[in-house]
């Protein structure tokens, strides 16, 4: 009997302690938020799979009040704002629900990833929409890859004898200037060149802003451009993938539209010297 009473007393004390702790934490939160402008946002409470309709997320989200400064861009406080849109990617607990994470179901279906062609390696690059055809890319597209570089140092340089009409590479064009110590600093010029033709796009992840922020927009209004960077997965030979990664690391990449019958002309590296020719 005494043992039973002891257990009940211990549980009561533990419960009371928990109650006091929760009250203290809530009071501390209230003090921290005192004077802050607060807004209501929906927060993911349970994992949500890519493709899940916004209309069925009621049991997977909770409403929280947060300071305006920590509210995510495009955050929502009511699932009805998202209409029939679906999650464009997996959503994890703790994330705020934003319009950027939802797209039309048809859009998600079209953007389904494809397998890289045999013998290729796939790599993903982050690229702004204005450098990737405005974000109008889907898996299966074929693109040309442009590389642009700022001037960079050449540690060793031996100019080659070029024949008329021979293509000049960035390493064969240089800028020489005194380094102030009697030597010469050798640099390449600003340069742009198509480095690859007919590269296959295997996946596109995009944060696209649905037209939910403007209820007055007409039905035939142009689609809004993606916000933020695209994550574009490209498949190519190992050698070509090295060139893509190097350019992404040390220069900048542009993607151009191409088709299966687009010719692959041999063009010179473009610099200020020949851009107007």
HSE (CB half, 13 Å, CA atoms) of 194? 16
Topology classification of domain 111-150+190-258: Elongation Factor Tu (Ef-tu); domain 3 (2.40.30)
What's the rounded Cα separation, in Å, for the pair 36 and 103?
32
* Predicted TM-score (pTM) of this structure: 0.51
Per-residue pLDDT of 241-256, as tens digits, reads: 999 999 999 999 999 9
For residues 40 and 81, the answer to whether their CB atoms sit within 8 Å is no
In the chain, what are the domain boundaries?
Answer: 35-109, 111-150+190-258
Average pLDDT taken over every residue of the chain: 76
Nearest to 193 by CA among 173, 208, 213: 173
CATH number of 35-109: 3.90.1210.10
Per-residue pLDDT of 193-211, as tens digits, reads: 999 988 999 998 865 444 3
What is the C-alpha R_g of the chain? 28
Give exposure, 115-149, as e/b (b: 16+ Cβ within 10 Å). Answer: ebeeebbbbebebebebbeebebebebebbbbbeb
């Amino acid at each position: 009997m005494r043992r039973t009473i002891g257990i009940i007393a211990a549980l009561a004390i533990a419960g009371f302690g928990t109650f006091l702790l929760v009250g203290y934490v809530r009071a501390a939160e209230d003090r921290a938020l005192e004077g802050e402008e607060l807004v209501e946002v929906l927060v993911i409470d349970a994992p949500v799979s890519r493709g899940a309709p916004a209309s069925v997320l009621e049991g997977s989200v909770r409403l929280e009040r947060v300071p305006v400064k920590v509210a995510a861009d495009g955050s929502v406080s009511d699932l009805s704002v998202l209409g029939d849109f679906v999650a464009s990617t997996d959503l994890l607990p703790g994330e705020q629900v934003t319009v950027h994470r939802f797209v039309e179901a048809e859009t998600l279906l079209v953007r389904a990833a494809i397998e890289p062609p045999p013998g290729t390696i796939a790599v993903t690059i982050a690229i702004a929409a204005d450098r990737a055809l405005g974000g109008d890319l889907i898996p299966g597209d074929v693109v040309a890859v442009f590389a642009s570089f700022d001037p960079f140092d050449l540690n060793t340089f031996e100019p080659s004898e070029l024949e008329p009409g021979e293509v000049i590479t960035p390493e064969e064009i240089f800028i020489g200037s005194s380094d102030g110590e009697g030597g010469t600093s050798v640099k390449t010029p600003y340069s742009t060149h198509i480095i690859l033709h007919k590269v296959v796009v295997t996946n596109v992840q995009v944060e696209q802003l649905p037209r939910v922020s403007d209820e007055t927009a007409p039905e035939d209004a142009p689609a809004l451009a993606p916000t933020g960077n695209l994550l574009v997965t490209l498949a190519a030979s190992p050698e070509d993938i090295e060139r893509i990664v190097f350019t992404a690391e040390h220069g900048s990449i542009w993607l151009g539209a191409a088709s299966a019958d687009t010719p692959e002309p041999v063009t010179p590296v473009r610099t200020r010297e020949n851009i107007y020719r």
